């Protein structure tokens, strides 16, 4: 009995490990070397968009890498740049910083134009992957959500932008892609900006579909993974991820899906 249970557990773990596989690549642009994590599904969805994922202020952390893997497990190819590439000690990246506080300080100090250039290079790289079938989306969390919204004003060939609890830019008139927003009910600093963002997107004739998760806190996608997570954060984390996957699936099928469906 015990041997059979161990064998069954081993088979299950083996199958889970085969759901996706990860590797790092280096992109060179403007004399800069940018390290990116590429996570591929074992069984990729046909015609699925390639996902460019922008990390939080905590950098390309364990949580960020796990999120990339979770999206890959849904059949998507994910490209996640280490935006701290070259900014770490001795010219290193995220993994070379001594502490989380050093990481957050370095991410906060990144030059916005440099981030835009890195994201441009990452999207260009994603478009050259064999999994690319004509569509690239950008998904960003917190600091990465803010940068994703800003990037959508610059990059014209995105199929969608997904902003998790990130504020919008002052000028949205140059945005081409639909923007899907995921927000926490207990996030006053971000939530206070939403009426102005909503009005600006509407006035510019742009597609903006924000969803509010009542009771959730800023960072609920990360907080909802914690063992001591509140029920509101766990619920928001589950619902937001399922919504994200649903919309991504719709983009792959060229369907329009409402965030409230």
Give the start-end residues of each E strand in the chain.
20-29, 32-41, 50-54, 78-81, 136-141, 160-164, 179-186, 208-217
Q: State CA 103 to chain mean position distance.
A: 18
Residue 30 placed within a domain: yes
Q: Is the pLDDT of residue 5 over 60?
A: no
Q: Is the pLDDT of residue 185 over 90?
A: yes
13-17, 72-76, 250-254, range with greatest mean pLDDT: 72-76
Please tell me the predicted confidence (pLDDT) of residue 260. Answer: 41
Q: Is the pLDDT of residue 13 over 90?
A: no
Q: Is the pLDDT of residue 43 over 80?
A: yes
Q: Is the pLDDT of residue 255 over 90?
A: no
pLDDT band at 22 (very low <50, low <70, confident <90, very high): very high
Count of structural domains, the chain:
1
Structure tokens at 255: 């369907």
DSSP helix/strand/coil, 72: helix
Please tell me the predicted confidence (pLDDT) of residue 16. Answer: 52
Structure tokens at 147: 């940068």
Q: Is the pLDDT of residue 38 over 80?
A: yes
Residue 4 placed within a domain: no
The overall average pLDDT reported for the chain is: 92
Please tell me the predicted confidence (pLDDT) of residue 20. Answer: 87
Q: What is the CATH number of the domain that holds 185?
A: 3.40.50.1820
Q: Are 82 and 94 in contact (CB under 8 A)?
A: yes
Q: Is the pLDDT of residue 207 over 80?
A: yes
Q: Which domain holds residue 140?
A: 20-252
**How crowded is residue 27: how many other Cβ atoms within 10 Å of its Cβ?**
17
Residue 8 placed within a domain: no
Please tell me the predicted confidence (pLDDT) of residue 254. Answer: 56
Residue 196 placed within a domain: yes
Q: Is the pLDDT of residue 256 over 80?
A: no
Rounded Cα–Cα distance for residues 127 and 121 (Å):
10
pLDDT band at 17 (very low <50, low <70, confident <90, very high): low
Please tell me the predicted confidence (pLDDT) of residue 18. Answer: 56
Please tell me the predicted confidence (pLDDT) of residue 8. Answer: 47
DSSP state of 19: T
The reported pTM is: 0.90
Q: Are 119 and 145 in contact (CB under 8 A)?
A: no
Q: Are 106 and 84 in contact (CB under 8 A)?
A: yes
Residue 258 placed within a domain: no
Share of the chain above pLDDT 70, in %: 89
Please tell me the predicted confidence (pLDDT) of residue 193. Answer: 98
Which sign does the torsion angle of CA 191, 58, 259, 198 carry? Answer: positive
- For the stretch 221-242, pLDDT in tens is 999 999 999 999 999 999 999 9
């Amino acid at each position: 009995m015990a041997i059979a249970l161990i064998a069954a557990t081993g088979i299950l773990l083996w199958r889970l490990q085969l759901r996706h596989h990860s590797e790092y690549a280096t992109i060179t642009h403007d004399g800069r070397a940018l390290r990116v994590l590429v996570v591929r599904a074992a069984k990729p969805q046909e015609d699925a968009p390639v996902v460019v994922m922008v990390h939080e202020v905590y950098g390309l952390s364990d949580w960020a890498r796990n999120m990339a893997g979770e999206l890959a497990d849904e059949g998507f190819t994910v490209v996640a740049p280490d935006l701290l590439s070259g900014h770490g000690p001795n010219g290193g990246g995220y993994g070379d910083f001594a502490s989380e506080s050093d990481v957050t300080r370095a991410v906060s100090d990144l030059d916005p134009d440099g981030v835009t250039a890195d994201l441009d290079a990452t999207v260009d790289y994603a478009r050259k992957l064999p999994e690319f079938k004509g569509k690239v989306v950008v998904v960003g969390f917190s600091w990465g959500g803010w940068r994703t919204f800003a990037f959508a004003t610059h990059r014209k060939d995105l199929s969608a932008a997904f902003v998790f609890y990130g504020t919008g830019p002052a000028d949205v008139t140059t945005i081409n892609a639909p923007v899907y927003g995921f927000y926490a009910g207990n996030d006053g600093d971000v939530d206070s900006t939403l009426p102005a963002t909503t009005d600006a997107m509407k006035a510019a004739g742009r597609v903006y579909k924000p969803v509010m998760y009542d009771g959730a806190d800023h960072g609920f996608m990360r907080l909802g993974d914690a063992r001591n997570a509140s029920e509101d954060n766990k619920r928001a984390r589950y619902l937001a991820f399922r919504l994200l996957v649903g919309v991504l699936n719709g983009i792959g099928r060229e369907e329009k899906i409402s965030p409230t469906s």
